Amino acid sequence: MSAAAQDAPRVRARDLGVAPGIFSPGSNNAITDVAGVRVGQVTLSEGDTVRTGVTAILPHPGNAYRSRVPAALHVGNGFGKFIGSTQVNELGELETPILLTCTLCVWKAADAMADWMLAQPDMQQVRSLNVVVGETNDGGLNDIRARPVTAAAVRRALETAKSGPVQEGSVGAGTGTVAFGWKGGIGTSSRKLPESLGGWTVGVLVQANFGGVLQVEGAPVGRELDRYAFQNAVAAQGNVRGLADDRGDGSVIIVVATDAPLSDRNLRRLASRGMMGLGRTGSSASNGSGDYVLAFSTAESVRRGFDAAQLQTTELANEQMSAVFQASVDAVEESVYNALFMATTVSGNGQTVEAIPLDKVREVLQQHGVKAPR
């Protein structure tokens, strides 16, 4: 199948009638629907070998060190590197933006963000900084050993971060990623709760680079398209095309933002639900997959000043968490679909990874009765 056939046109999940869950999305159906959250992305596509990039998520427009948001990290499977994770879980807060990039570039990205943060106004006396950087391995399409992410690319991602629509697919930290044997990438989605359930917004962004047996709202897309994990072991012909991963290995970073006023304890609970959304798409969190979910709250009532002597916060009670959980699970699921459906075929480093053929996906969805809700 030609690249043109694979890539024309690319659409989001809802354009295929795929709308997981019961709650409506925000205006952009993106993590930026959480007020104040901004996303910046830099795509590095150089020569025949470099296919990688940086995605930056800024929790609010101010100085993240001076005005900290509560946060928590859930590790679904820890085969990966997540810089800054121990302090996030110890103190329950973020003090920098979040960066996503490729595996062997995490330290370069962390160093560049540290320089950028320390150069900000009112940071001259700071002598400790917990930068937060996640990664997935794009070493198939990208010459990962060249460690091509530069400080300039990191600064550009941070300084160009904006609200509004978020570019998806083969961009930023998703430039060289692979998911379910097809081209993966960056995906995002959001949910707005009814006012009777608090009216809170939950937004998700994923860096999809993992495997498994793809299903879309229960439709067995991976099996029907003859590309899935362990295919060699179960299929008589034993023939996996392209870069399909026979063990479902890979990684995924899931970032969950909300304006619900949550403590780091309840953010840890929220983060753990991200794995439920991931499981709906067909992942089993394989041994070789680094599956991390980072959740944070932007609510002013739970914000923490860096030098505060006491914290006086107003936070959501446990009994009010269930709808927020539901929203996050649904938004994670849809974010993964958006990453896949918006990704384009990419060649690099001597390999080509095809975008999932959306015409075939439509056929499978129709056969299995998947359609958008009324």
Instruction: Return d(Cα 30, Cα 25) in angstroms, integer.
Output: 8
Which of 45, 170, 189, 251 does the annotation list as catalytic? 251
pLDDT > 90 fraction of the chain, expressed in percent and rounded: 87
Q: Is the residue at 35 inside a domain?
A: yes
> Does the pLDDT value for residue 242 go beyond 70?
no
CATH number at residue 116: 3.60.70.12
Q: Are 297 and 258 in contact (CB under 8 A)?
A: yes
Which of 289, 297, 328, 335 does the annotation list as catalytic? 289
What are the φ and ψ backbone dihedral angles of 291, each rounded to 5 degrees? -115, 105
Write down the pLDDT at residue 145. Answer: 97
pLDDT > 70 fraction of the chain, expressed in percent and rounded: 94
Q: Give the residue carrying structure tokens 């999932």.
A: 356
Q: Is the residue at 212 inside a domain?
A: yes
Which two structure tokens, joined as six digits, stand for 32? 């930026």
Q: Is the residue at 318 inside a domain?
A: yes
Q: Is the residue at 79 inside a domain?
A: yes
**Is there a catalytic annotation at residue 138?**
no
Lowest mean pLDDT among 23-37, 244-258, 315-329, 348-362: 244-258
What's the structural domain count of the chain?
1
Q: Is the residue at 19 inside a domain?
A: no
Q: In terms of residue numbers, what domain contains 153?
A: 28-362
**Is there a catalytic annotation at residue 291?**
yes
Q: Is the residue at 372 inside a domain?
A: no
Question: Residue 296 pairs with which residues in a beta bridge?
Answer: 71, 257
**Is there a catalytic annotation at residue 15?**
no
Q: Is the residue at 255 inside a domain?
A: yes
Q: Is the residue at 90 inside a domain?
A: yes
> Does the pLDDT value for residue 51 go beyond 60?
yes
Per DSSP, the three-state class of 47 is coil
Residue 130 DSSP class:
-
Write down the pLDDT at residue 8. Answer: 63
